[in-house]
Amino acid sequence: MPAEIRDINENKLIDEDFIAAGNLLTWLKWFCTIGGLWPLEKTYIRAGVWTVYLTLHLVMEYVELFAAFGNFNATVFSVVEVSMQTMVYAKLIVFRHSAMLRRLIDATKDELAENLYENYEEKKLYLKYNSLSKLYYKVSVPYVMTAACVYYLRPVVTSLLIGNFGTNDSMVLPFHITLPYTIVDTRVYWMTYAYLSPMIYLLACHNGWICVLITVQLHICGQLTIVEHRIRNIVHVTDHDASHAIFKSLVDRHTKSIWMAKSFDDSFHFILLVDLIVMTLLLGLTSYVIIIGQGVSESSTGPVFGIAGTATLLLIYGYCIVGESLISESSKVHAAYYECMWYESSADFKKAVMICMLSSQEPLRMTAGKFFVFSLTSFTDILKTAMGYVSLLRKVSQ
């Protein structure tokens, strides 16, 4: 096939992929709108119903947690569930009512809709990060949904495996909660069991909200890589009007990316801190439960918690890989300013480059609580801390 025809076919594929770049936000919108939990939709009544439901569920879990004190293993199981549901609850409140999240999603959609890309090379650079967002969505959403379903069905699977399905001994609920009534027969048990089924959707929504965060951050990375590409392809400029025109579009794009990254960090650093603490704790607790799995009454506990622990690991790895990409791309932009042909250009051009160098001197970061920086290096620190929790729990339980 001639090179010219091959290039035409490749460009056609790039155009098709770029048109579909916004599909990810559409998928997330459809999924979250079921429960009225998409921040751009005015579905406050549905969102209120889910908020009340989760509030009642959390109250019953916290009551059970306090009742479990004195029984070490029962306390561990309760802490796992309370931690997870508290994290879901915090995200439900913040994401549903965050004005900044709405602005960031709108900015992402606008930059996809507008014709801001000069050639196919820029589109290709952006699609690299858009494809990474879609890959994370396609892997994490089905896996987390499966993990939530398996966790919910754990008591039924266990009773089927040991052969006591339908007896009083099999009437175990999927979550450790203290009910305001007593389960006296199988009818009440199955009605209560069905009442807890919406937790599957809420757990899946939690992953959906993380996908929104990752999509916005990878969009910023895509814009930064385009800025870097344009800087490295600047030819030396001696004309004042030409240098002004070049830097107007370049600086506007870079400034907007900086605004999005810093606004994101200012708005969500606390919720990311909650995620960091809870997910690290969950990694340690689920690892401990897997170790003692043979010593608990439910035979499926070890494998189920293995699936849940892997889901937690997948979520926090998503944060770290995105944080690493943001640091890397913003650092590349700073290096590109130094390496462009600024020394052969006009005085105005040199001044503009100097201002850009100063604004990009500090790499952009995604942080938890403004002090913990998400990166691949910090991912190993999280794993070390989680394993430290496992060692501590094993010593305490002995």
pLDDT of residue 355: 75
Rounded CA-CA distance 354/335 in Å is 12
Phi (first) and psi of residue 368, to 5 degrees:
-115, 115
SS3 236: coil
pLDDT of residue 385: 92
Give pLDDT tens digits along the chain (398 positions): 555 555 566 667 776 777 777 788 888 888 888 888 888 888 888 888 999 999 999 999 999 999 888 788 788 888 888 988 998 998 888 888 888 888 998 888 888 776 677 777 888 888 888 888 989 988 888 888 888 888 888 888 777 777 666 666 667 888 888 888 888 888 888 899 999 999 999 888 888 888 889 999 999 998 899 888 888 877 655 555 555 666 777 778 888 888 999 999 999 999 999 999 999 998 988 888 887 764 455 555 677 788 888 888 888 999 999 999 999 999 998 888 877 766 666 676 677 777 777 777 888 899 998 899 999 999 999 999 988 988 888 887 76
The DSSP string of 166-225 is TSGGG---SS----SS---SHHHHHHHHHHTTHHHHHHHHHHHHHHHHHHHHHHHHHHHH
Q: How far apart are CA 269 and CA 267, in angstroms?
A: 6
| Exposed e or buried b per residue across 224-235, where buried means at least 16 C-beta atoms within 10 angstroms of its C-beta | bbbbbbbbeebe
**Which distant-in-sequence residues (6+ apart) come within 8 Å of 122 by Cβ?**
226, 229, 230
Question: pLDDT value at position 57?
Answer: 92
What are the φ and ψ backbone dihedral angles of 373, each rounded to 5 degrees? Answer: -95, 125
Task: Note the pLDDT of residue 319.
Answer: 92
Q: For residue 174, what are the domain limits?
A: 3-397
Q: How far is CA 56 from CA 31, 257, 358, in A?
A: 23, 40, 51
Would you say 242 and 215 are in contact if contact means Cβ atoms under 8 Å apart? Answer: no
Q: How far apart are CA 356 and CA 142, in angstroms?
A: 42
**What's the confidence (pLDDT) of residue 164?**
64
pLDDT of residue 28: 85
The closest alpha carbon to 305, from 73, 146, 85, 147, belongs to: 147
* Residue reference for tokens 């030409």: 242
Among residues 355, 339, 330, the alpha carbon closest in space to that of 257 is found at 330
Number of domains making up the chain? 1
User: What sections of the chain are H helices per DSSP?
Assistant: 3-19, 23-33, 44-68, 72-97, 99-113, 120-152, 154-162, 186-195, 198-232, 240-291, 301-339, 347-359, 376-397
CA dihedral 78, 374, 89, 258 (to 10 degrees): 180
pLDDT of residue 311: 86
Contact partners, residue 316, CB within 8 Å, separation at least 6: 275, 276, 279, 280, 283, 379, 382
Question: Angle, nearest 10°, between helix axes 44-68 and 198-232?
Answer: 110
* Contact assessment for residue 338 and residue 228, using Cβ atoms and an 8 Å cutoff: no
Question: What's the pLDDT at 2?
Answer: 57
Q: Alpha-carbon distance 333 to 146, whole Å?
A: 40
In total, the chain counts a number of residues equal to 398
SS3 label, residue 368: strand
Q: What is the pLDDT of residue 189?
A: 87
CA distance 143 to 314: 9
State whether residue 117 is helix, strand or coil: coil
d(CA 262, CA 200): 33
